[in-house]
Amino acid sequence: MRKYGLIGYPLGQSKSAAYFTAKFDAEHIDATYSLYEMPTLTPPKDLDGYSVTIPYKEAIISYLSELDTEAAAIGAVNCVKHGKGYNTDYVGVLATLDEVLPQERSVAVKALVFGSGGAAKAVFYALRQRGIAYCRVSRSRERGDLLYEQITPAIIGEYKLLINCTPLGMYNRNAIESQNKQCVDIPYSAIGSEHILFDCIYNPAETEFLRRGRLQGARTINGERMFIEQAEQAWKIWNNEL
């Protein structure tokens, strides 16, 4: 029996085990997929392949012997097979962008990306692939083009694609309710029907970020498509189908 899994911390929000277990059952695959919640990063050595989520998509790189071309260009890894790191997140981002933003419109739209971690790096790469100009928003001047306190209504009006790559609003089974309703601090009143809000989070289905955008008339999409596409891409890597 083949063994796969997900490493990260926390993992209460993850649907990966349920997704792959259902896939294995439906396709009669003799394999298991487990969650390995790690307060401290300790890469597993007994798995046929594994996924990586927050907060280890960048830290895992120093433990690997090789990176594929995309993972090296992105600077983050979310899929590992026998010591080699891959990034499949960007495939999910591309699929999501193509769903909400036809390519003929993409060059006319600019994106504000909130966050600077591993998920954000995959988003940056995907945006470059689609020729979409973007601005990085971070709590750190070293990792962002703008700080959150610099985001004005005028800037929101200029950037029609808003992408959350932070964990704010992600479901946490151990958090109090108010923590699960957090969101990036931006002037939501400046959002309108011409905006698209994309949240890389898929649990809950509607984060506070998306809810506030919806109430302003914006089109919203969560990370479900991104999650499925990256998972299927990882499965192809683990099974030498790429």
* Whether 159 and 213 share a structural domain: yes
Expressed as residue numbers, the domain containing 122 is 91-224
Q: Is 45 helix (H, G, I), strand (E, B) or coil?
A: coil
217 and 128 inside one domain: yes
CB neighbours of residue 159 within 10 Å: 19
What is the per-residue pLDDT for 101? 86
Considering the domain architecture, whether residues 33 and 112 belong to the same structural domain is answered as no
Which candidate, 204, 208, 211, 206, places its Cα nearest to that of 173? 204
Residue 241 pLDDT: 77
Contact 5, 34 (CB under 8 A): yes
The rounded distance, in Å, linking the Cα atoms of 58 and 214 is 32
Find residue 9's DSSP bridge partners: none
Token couple for 32: 């298991």
pLDDT of residue 218: 97
**Residues 214, 189: Cα–Cα separation, whole Å:** 11
CA distances to 118, 139, 170 from 166, rounded to whole Å, are 10, 11, 9
Residue 10: per-residue pLDDT: 93
Same domain, 126 and 233: no
Quote the pLDDT of residue 178.
Answer: 52
* In contact, 37 and 11? CB cutoff 8 Å: yes
Q: Can you give the pLDDT at residue 142?
A: 80
Question: What's the rounded Cα separation, in Å, for the pair 93 and 236?
Answer: 17
What's 31's domain CATH number?
A: 3.40.50.10860
Q: HSE-up of 169 (CA within 13 Å, CB side)?
A: 23
CA torsion sign for 85, 144, 224, 105 is negative
Residues 111 and 73 in one domain: no
Query: Measured between alpha carbons, how far is 215 from 60 in angstroms, rounded to an integer?
Result: 38
What pLDDT is attached to residue 181?
78
- CA separation (Å) from 48 to 84, 129, 131, 172? 12, 30, 36, 28
Same domain, 117 and 173: yes
Q: Clarify whether residues 203 and 106 are in a common domain.
A: yes
Contact 89, 51 (CB under 8 A): no
If asked whether residues 201 and 98 sit together in one domain, one would say: yes
Q: How many domains does the chain have?
A: 2
> For tokens 């895992």, what's the residue?
60
Task: List the structure tokens of 211.
Answer: 């809810």
166 and 115 in one domain?
yes
Mean pLDDT by 10 residues, the chain (242 residues): 96 96 97 97 96 98 98 98 97 96 72 97 97 93 90 97 96 63 95 97 96 98 98 95 70
pLDDT value of residue 171: 85
Co-location of 9 and 57 in the same domain:
yes
Give yes or no: residues 181 and 204 share one domain. Answer: yes
Spatial distance between the Cα atoms of 236 and 240, rounded to a whole number of angstroms: 6
- Note the pLDDT of residue 179: 59
Determine contact, residues 169/201, Cβ cutoff 8 Å.
Answer: yes
Within this chain, do residues 98 and 215 fall inside the same structural domain, yes or no?
A: yes
Residue 187 is part of a domain; what is its CATH number?
Answer: 3.40.50.720
